[in-house]
A = this chain, B = another copy of it.
Amino acid sequence: QPGRIKVELMTTRPVSTLLEVLDERGFRMTRQRRILLELLENASGHVNAKDLLRLAQQRDPSINRATVYRTLSLLKGEGLIDELDLLHLDGEEHFYERRRPQDHLHIGCVGCGRILEMETNLVDRLNTEVQVTTGFRPDSIRVEVRALCPECQKRQ
């Protein structure tokens, strides 16, 4: 069956919260981490470090940039979030999203910068093919498509 379009809405959520997982793994639950984890959990789609900092500071103005980066680094290292570039359509910063059971791909419109997500089993099949063909054991996969959205196609 064909992939379904997912826009800024996640359906296949992990069962435990980031907080629960980090807690289980023995990391300290600081005030700052609670805020950042909750924001990441509920962020619609993808956040960059700058926005995450801004959002966090709305709840606690003392939260520092370094803490944001250190938390993101921790979560990356624990395999709980993935770092995306989203094709650097606008600047060089990274975006972060909660890792989900179902792999998906990101499509960025070079015209308007809109980002779309799409779930398709082709991504899982890529994983399998990599494993079988090369012997490399995939950990995570990132698929990013530069494209032109229907609206921008008309506009051209």
Residues of chain A having any CB pair with chain B under 8 Å:
2-5, 83, 85, 87-88, 92, 105, 107, 109-110, 116, 118, 120, 122-123, 125-127, 129-130, 132-150, 153
Instruction: State the copy count for this chain.
Output: 2
B148 touches A139 (CB 8 A): yes
A3 touches B147 (CB 8 A): no
A146 touches B138 (CB 8 A): yes
Rounded to whole angstroms, the CA-CA distance of A76 and B118 in the bound complex is 26
B136 touches A149 (CB 8 A): yes
Query: A90 CB to closest chain B CB, in angstroms?
Result: 14
Q: Which single member of B133, B144, B145 contacts A3 (CB below 8 Å)? A: B133
Q: Which residues of B contact A4 (CB under 8 A)?
A: 133
